[in-house]
Amino acid sequence: GNSVTQMEGPVTLSEEAFLTINCTYTATGYPSLFWYVQYPGEGLQLLLKATKADDKGSNKGFEATYRKETTSFHLEKGSVQVSDSAVYFCALSDPPNNNDMRFGAGTRLTVKP
Amino acid sequence: EPEVTQTPSHQVTQMGQEVILRCVPISNHLYFYWYRQILGQKVEFLVSFYNNEISEKSEIFDDQFSVERPDGSNFTLKIRSTKLEDSAMYFCASSHQRQGRGANVLTFGAGSRLTVL
């Protein structure tokens, strides 16, 4: 069945460091891929998305490229800030094979000044 | 920016008690969802709701669970007789479209943490 596997955390970085959070997926069809972020005390917010192979989603300096050949959607940011500290969730939806959105386990990122 | 609000933020209950978690979705959204996340585990789909009825549910959503939209604004999740393993963060979400259609985006609430003792 469909699933998402995410890099385990927690991840601790210094400000301005480069960030990569790995995400790979298994899907029957042609899923759409998402990264959601959860800041402390808040809900899950959409960070970026990609709907087909080779699409690049980007937002707030974060990027992720939909790689069909490696079934991956790794999240990257060139220079993290303290305000990026949050939990990041990779997710996919794959209609009509699965009508529910599948999430990864989440990766907690802490950025230290 | 419109948001999904959930209450309570944290509830502690005794095993066997009934719990109702409340959600106010975004006002012009048509589809509503509940997800849960057991500590340290994945965010799991529970149920989706459209046009005043359940449209889909997962195997987790057994007879102990029910959902209701009692008025035009609230969307509730009821657990009739809580078990220890129901302890989790429960997220409500809403969307314009049915989940999974194209790049349909769900807007999530901040979650309600349920602790069953």
Over the stretch B29-76, which tens digit does the pLDDT of each residue have?
Answer: 888 999 998 887 778 889 989 889 998 888 999 999 999 998 878 999
Distance separating alpha carbons of residues B75 and A2, to the nearest angstrom:
28
Across the range B103-117, mean pLDDT stands at 86
**Average pLDDT of the residues in A12-38:** 93
Q: Nearest CB to B91: which of A43, A94, A105?
A: A43
Q: For residue A94, is pLDDT > 60? A: yes
B48: nearest CA partner in chain A: A100
Token couple for A55: 């699409």
pLDDT at residue A35, as a whole number: 96
Residues 6+ apart with CB under 8 A from B50: B30, B31, B32, B98
Partners of B50 in the β-ladder? B31, B53
Q: Of A99, A101, A106, which has the smallest distance from its Cβ to B106's Cβ?
A: A101
User: What's the pLDDT score for residue B63?
Assistant: 94
What residue in B sits closest to A44 (Cα-Cα)? B108
Report helix, strand and coil shares of chain B as percent, to nearest 5: 5, 50, 50
What is the Cα–Cα distance from B23 to B88, expressed in whole angstroms? Answer: 16
Q: pLDDT at position A70, please? A: 95
The whole-number pLDDT of residue A97 equals 52
Whether the pLDDT of residue B1 is over 80: the answer is no
Task: Give contacts of A95 with chain B, Cβ < 8 Å.
Answer: 100-101
